[in-house]
Amino acid sequence: MLLGGCAETASSSKPRLAAATPGKLTKRALIRYDIRGRPFPLPVVTGHVAGQPVLMLVDTGANSHVIAGWLARKLGLPMKKLGDIGTDHVGKSIAAYRLDGVDIAIDDWGKLATTTLLATEVPPVIEKLGIGAFISPQRLEEEGDAVVLDLAKGELRSAWWDESLREMADKGVRLFDVDQGRTCEDSEGPVRGLAYVMPSVIEQQKVSLLVDTGAQHSDVFIGSSAGQRLLPQSTPNKEAMYTASGPITARKIANARITTGSFSVTANVDLIQGAADASCPRDGVLAMDVLRSCSLLLGRTRIVGRCAPSK
């Protein structure tokens, strides 16, 4: 999770979903890009944690569902400290807590099967925005064997992998195919985790990037080989940036060319200090500045992406 330049915003009425077709998979939820009526760059859904209405960030960069510490304390949820087993966006250790028997639901989607969750502290700006949970869409296992995260259409829905793969085959520009990249899985911790790392090219430099819908801007670690080669093209970034451990400073490459598969966009890329968690090596993240027009098919061990042609 990484937010750039986010501030408290001021509630728009929630749109209604059309009824699901009988006999088909029924789990779906609307994604919105606003908070309290103002534009917001990251995908959010509404839902409930222990009966409390809350905004939830749809975050593929989170390898499991996470409750914000401020919300857990507000609800009086018993938090069992696990130690500094978590890491934030820049690889810094953060305290993590285990929550057992927590009812969590996404509006229209319904109750989640997972009731054992992680909790961690988040920057004050996240609390001010009213974001109390981070939903890992690849860990939504209530129905089907995959999830479609349609960021362009603004919809999250359960899916059958094979059927959805056929439907996506000839749609849009190829972002990545099933045989590309790798997954990072954690099946031994208190909560199972899953994340995806994909090959990309930034300004002719090959990189491996975490697919992260919880980040506004794509980035590269300065300490990586690619980061060192990109460093001369960068300038100081004056925009406020936040990770779970707090604000960070960064440098910026303006109007960088980012190519993943056959899809290319021009965007500002951040160069940041830090390093990836050793359990999931990467050079940086592929963020919403690239993914906003894309649809992702998230499987249990694989991912496919297609995007609308860039303008």
* Confidence at 8, pLDDT banded by 50, 70, 90: very low
Please tell me which of 117-121, 145-149, 299-303 the model is most confident about, judged by mean pLDDT. Answer: 145-149
- Of 85, 115, 150, the last residue of a domain is 150
Same domain, 127 and 179: no
Nearest to 155 by CA among 3, 24, 27: 27
Same domain, 192 and 244: yes
Asked, for residue 159, whether it belongs to a domain, the answer is no
Asked, for residue 40, whether it belongs to a domain, the answer is yes
Same domain, 234 and 129: no
* Confidence at 187, pLDDT banded by 50, 70, 90: confident
Nearest to 98 by CA among 83, 113, 81, 73: 81
Which pair of tokens denotes residue 289?
A: 């500045």
Same domain, 230 and 111: no
Contact between 230 and 221 under an 8 Å Cβ cutoff? The reply is: no
Find the mean pLDDT for residues 63-71: 95
- pLDDT at res. 250: 85
How many other C-beta atoms lie within 10 A of the C-beta of residue 204?
10
Find the mean pLDDT for residues 128-133: 97
Q: Containing domain of residue 129, as a range?
A: 3-9+24-150
Nearest to 32 by CA among 50, 17, 19: 17
In the predicted structure, residue 1 carries a pLDDT above the cut 60 = no
Same domain, 144 and 218: no
Please calculate the CA angle 95-96-100 and round it to the nearest 5 degrees: 155
DSSP string covering 233-284: G-EEEEEEEEETTEEEEEEEEEEEEEEETTEEEEEEEEEES----TTS--SE
More confident position, 81 or 110 = 110
Same domain, 124 and 210: no
Cα distances (Å, whole numbers) of residue 106 to 45, 230, 283 = 7, 40, 32
Asked, for residue 39, whether it belongs to a domain, the answer is yes
Same domain, 181 and 287: yes
Q: Which residue has the tokens 């953060």?
A: 94
- pLDDT at res. 56: 99
How many domains is the chain built from? 2
Mean pLDDT, the chain, as a whole number? 88
Same domain, 275 and 197: yes
Find the mean pLDDT for residues 38-52: 98
Same domain, 115 and 200: no
CATH value at residue 61: 2.40.70.10
Same domain, 54 and 90: yes
Give the rounded percent of residues in the chain with a pLDDT score beyond 70.
85
Find the mean pLDDT for residues 89-96: 68
In the predicted structure, residue 7 carries a pLDDT above the cut 60 = no
Asked, for residue 15, whether it belongs to a domain, the answer is no
CA-to-CA distance for 283 and 305, rounded, in angstroms? Answer: 20
* Confidence at 310, pLDDT banded by 50, 70, 90: confident
In the predicted structure, residue 248 carries a pLDDT above the cut 90 = no
Same domain, 241 and 281: yes
Asked, for residue 71, whether it belongs to a domain, the answer is yes
In the predicted structure, residue 220 carries a pLDDT above the cut 70 = yes
Contact between 84 and 93 under an 8 Å Cβ cutoff? The reply is: yes
CA-to-CA distance for 171 and 152, rounded, in angstroms? Answer: 13
Same domain, 193 and 277: yes
